[in-house]
Structure 1
Amino acid sequence: MPLLRGFLTLLLFLILGELLRYLCNWPVSGGVAGMMLLTLWLMITGDVRDDVAQTSQHLISLLILLIMPGVVGVFFLGNQFDGQWLAIAAALVGGTLLSVLTTLLLLKALVPEKPAEVSHD
């Protein structure tokens, strides 16, 4: 039952994100808006419920199933990318580096550093 409750909670935030995107005419996906709402909700409550955490872990293990259709689509549409492989490779490498850099900067800004231990000699 906790998995179902957690899945329904995540689904609720996805639907709220879609609704917010539609009402505000935002140029972002409903999933991104829903994740922003979920993050805001978690920041306000200060805690992640066990059912949401457990469901999230199960969904992360299935993430490859969400990525696979795009990879297969690129395989079948490969001839349409003739002459554009350098731009695609640059976009993939640049996007990956920017993503890692953004994550690093956010972690440094949001996670407090541990104070240095003082040795008492």
Structure 2
Amino acid sequence: MHVIKGFLILLLFLLSGDALVTLLNLPISAGVAGMLLITLWFMLRGRMQEDVALASQPLIAVLAMLIMPGVVGVFFVAGRYADQWLAFVAALVVGTFLSVLTTLILMSRFTPKEPAKDEDRSC
């Protein structure tokens, strides 16, 4: 039952992101908007909900399959944008750098710190 609740929460944020993008005519995808909304929700709560964690774990295993349609679609429209290859390379490099930097900051912020091990207790 927890997994179903987690999937419903994920779906709710995806639909909320879709509504936000449609209403405000934002130039981002509904999935990205939904991820931003759920990230803000987790940040306000200070922790991740267990139901969402249980539902998202199997999705991580098939993550490559979930993003594959978008990647394959690029090959069909690549010819239209051949004269803008420098902008694409710059966007990929900057986007990758910002993605890694954001992940590093979030992991360092939300990963629990281990207590210092005091190995020299024998005197």
C-alpha deviation, 1:114, in angstroms: 3.7
Q: Name the residue aligned to 2:73.
A: 73
What TM-score do you get using the length of structure 2 for normalisation? Answer: 0.67
**Counterpart of 2:83 in 1: which secondary structure?**
coil
C-alpha deviation, 1:5, in angstroms: 2.9
Specify the code of the residue in structure 2 equivalent to 1:44.
Answer: R
CA distance in 1, matches of 2:4, 2:108: 35
C-alpha deviation, 1:26, in angstroms: 7.1
Q: Name the residue aligned to 2:45.
A: 44
Unaligned runs of 5+ in 2: none
Q: Name the residue aligned to 1:6.
A: 6
The equivalences for 1:46-61 within 5 A come to 46=47, 48-49=49-50, 51-61=51-61
CA distance in 2, matches of 1:47, 1:105: 17
* Greater displacement, 9-18 / 92-101: 9-18
CA distance in 2, matches of 1:35, 1:106: 14
Q: Name the residue aligned to 1:86.
A: 86
Unaligned runs of 5+ in 1: none
Q: Which runs of 4+ in 1 moved over 6 A?
A: none
What TM-score do you get using the length of structure 1 for normalisation? Answer: 0.67
Give the count of matched residue pairs: 119
Give me the identity figure in percent: 52
C-alpha deviation, 1:46, in angstroms: 4.2
